[in-house]
Structure 1
Amino acid sequence: MFKIGEFSKLTQVSIRMLRYYDEVGLLKPEQVDPFTGYRLYSVEQIPVLNKIVFLRDVGFNISEIAVVMSKWNDAFVTEQLEQKSREIEQNIQEEQQRLAKIKLAKADINRDKIQIHYNVSIKDIPSYQVVSIRRVIPDYYGEGQLWKELSAFAEERQLVISNNTFSIYHDTEYKETEVDVEVCAQTTSVGESEGDFAFRMTEPVPYMASTMVYGEFTNIAKAYLAFANWLSEHNQYEMAGGSRQIVHRGPWNEENPEKYLTEIQVALKKRDMSS
């Protein structure tokens, strides 16, 4: 049997952590001297402690470690490690997004906060004959998959579609998840709807506010702020539903993100000024 100091030395785990694992029930001493109160550990407990330390080092918290230790077998441990791996990958993506935002903020500061000016104009958008696919997707990054599916659908059925394509965001509010998106391609073809795919005429929009966004897609948020400022100055208009997006230059035809060109459109209506 080893005293706690000896066990700490042999396992390279601090006395503080050994006491903590005792308190939370992860690793109780093999014995506690009834006269001195000293914690005593056995050599058989070293592999158990090694498992605890391993799980801690790969990101498991105390409650998760307790579950894994209580059900330890190869299949269960493998499943838990795969799940933890997915969690870590998700966290890495979120941290990368935060880093990107920090870099953008630093760039703004380094440029003495020079602001891009977005010119807002009003368009009368007619109805278009389109083939489209509409679906609620996990987030905006899933839009690329919709375009792939629409392209495959058109190719399989030998549809004649133009390069005039656009996305319609049907949500009237900004949503980070479960986004209602429809991607559309103008076509002269008419057919029967199949599943998520539809042949339809889009709704005309007599008052569509439009602005061009140059550069990376992260600039789009600033364009919406420009719309907010524009609406505050033109109070004869108010928002009327969803928005559209047309990517004139994007990853498929432009390697440099700084040269992307995206048109943002927001449907408006004339405000009732009589009251």
Structure 2
Amino acid sequence: MFTIGEFAVLGRVSVRMLRHYDGIGLLHPAVVDPHTGYRYYRAAQLGRLNRVVALKDLGLTLEQVRAVLDDEVDANELRGMLRLRRAQLAAQVAADTARLARIAARLRMLETEGRMTTEDVVLKEIPAVRIAEVTAVAASYETPDIGPVIQPLYPELFRRLDEAHVGLTGPAIAWYEPEGGGEAVVVHAGATVGVDPGPDQGFAVVDLPAVPTAATIVHHGAMDEVEASMQVLARWIEENGWRAEGYAREVYLEYCQDEPEKGVTELQIPVSRR
């Protein structure tokens, strides 16, 4: 037999953890000296310890581990537990991957600060335009909330336009407006068309009004990195005595669904004199 310290080394766990497993009935020592209270384990118990560690690493709680090892959970229930854990881990990996991408985008934005200047801002009139659009609601204006909402909207819009045999007459245009009084945002994914509104089209036909004066800038690259261009645009508006009004538009001069880093987008913000 092995002392608790020796068994901990063999099983690659801590003595504290073995005491905890004993306390909750997950792995009792083979023998406890009645006089000293010392715990002793047999080599055969390493198998149960290894299963405990393996199941715990899968994300099961210690109570679930105990139920599995004591045959209180049948094979179907165990498969269900593991499938649920697999789904949870996949969601976590996807969230972490998206977070890494946002961090990388922020780093690139910081590295490019100063390369684009307010000289790139153009003040111009925006004519009225008719768009076909589909909409959805995002939790906020933040990129992590907007991105997952708007990205599937355009493939769906283009599919519906194709089914309706409606061709594009100009670029895709996105714009956003508050939903109610909270932080939620209505995301409008539109494309320039020349058709009249009709029933059962699968999309809305909307006339965006003309904008007498808009401050604009052309953003090159993925929209995850648009903040740098927005900063330049905001600085120009402030420095030149203008006031932002209405809702900003994103006009996709080159829409690249599969290669967003190749995208070219004009940002348009309606402005008026202070």
**Would the alpha carbon gap of residues 90 and 269 (structure 1) be closer, same or farther in structure 2, given more than 3 Å must change?**
farther
- The root-mean-square deviation of aligned C-alpha atoms, in Å, is 3.7
Q: Does 1:66 align with 2:63?
A: yes
Return the alpha-carbon distance in structure 2 between the equivalents of residues 235 and 24 of structure 1.
69
In structure 2, what is the equivalent of residue 222 of structure 1? 228
In structure 1, what is the equivalent of residue 217 of structure 2? 211
In structure 2, what is the equivalent of residue 244 of structure 1? 249
In structure 2, what is the equivalent of residue 264 of structure 1? 267
TM-score by length of 2: 0.75
**Would the alpha carbon gap of residues 73 and 135 (structure 1) be closer, same or farther in structure 2, given more than 3 Å must change?**
same
1:164-175 counterparts in 2 under 5 A?
A: 164-171=171-178
* Aligned-pair identity (%): 26
In structure 1, what is the equivalent of residue 165 of structure 2? 158
Return the alpha-carbon distance in structure 2 between the equivalents of residues 139 and 67 of structure 1.
38
Return the alpha-carbon distance in structure 1 between the equivalents of residues 131 and 26 of structure 2.
62
In structure 2, what is the equivalent of residue 199 of structure 1? 205
Return the alpha-carbon distance in structure 2 between the equivalents of residues 70 and 101 of structure 1.
41
Return the alpha-carbon distance in structure 2 between the equivalents of residues 87 and 152 of structure 1.
31
**Would the alpha carbon gap of residues 195 and 260 (structure 1) be closer, same or farther in structure 2, given more than 3 Å must change?**
closer
How far did residue 270 of structure 1 move?
4.4
Aligned residues: 262
Q: What do residues 11-49 of structure 1 show as CA deviations (whole Å, max 9, x unaligned)?
A: 343434323434566544465433211124467754542
SS at match of 1:151: helix
**Would the alpha carbon gap of residues 51 and 203 (structure 1) be closer, same or farther in structure 2, given more than 3 Å must change?**
farther
How far did residue 68 of structure 1 move?
4.9
**Would the alpha carbon gap of residues 44 and 75 (structure 1) be closer, same or farther in structure 2, given more than 3 Å must change?**
farther
Contact 1:134 1:196 in 2 (8 A): no
In structure 2, what is the equivalent of residue 144 of structure 1? 151
Return the alpha-carbon distance in structure 1 between the equivalents of residues 251 and 15 of structure 2.
62
SS at match of 1:163: coil
SS at match of 2:198: coil
How far did residue 126 of structure 1 move?
3.0
Q: What do residues 162-182 of structure 1 show as CA deviations (whole Å, max 9, x unaligned)?
A: 23221112248xx9x965211
Return the alpha-carbon distance in structure 2 between the equivalents of residues 146 and 78 of structure 1.
35
Contact 1:212 1:264 in 2 (8 A): yes
Counterpart code for 1:66:
E
How far did residue 227 of structure 1 move?
2.5
1:102-141 counterparts in 2 under 5 A?
A: 115-118=115-118, 119-136=120-137, 139-141=146-148
Contact 1:193 1:199 in 2 (8 A): no
SS at match of 2:54: helix
**Would the alpha carbon gap of residues 158 and 70 (structure 1) be closer, same or farther in structure 2, given more than 3 Å must change?**
same
Q: Does 1:82 align with 2:83?
A: yes
Return the alpha-carbon distance in structure 1 between the equivalents of residues 116 and 92 of structure 2.
31
In structure 1, what is the equivalent of residue 51 of structure 2? 51
In structure 1, what is the equivalent of residue 17 of structure 2? 17
Q: What do residues 131-183 of structure 1 show as CA deviations (whole Å, max 9, x unaligned)?
A: 111112564134232111111111112123323221112248xx9x9652111
Counterpart code for 2:227:
A
Return the alpha-carbon distance in structure 2 between the equivalents of residues 212 and 261 of structure 1.
7
Q: Does 1:92 align with 2:93?
A: yes
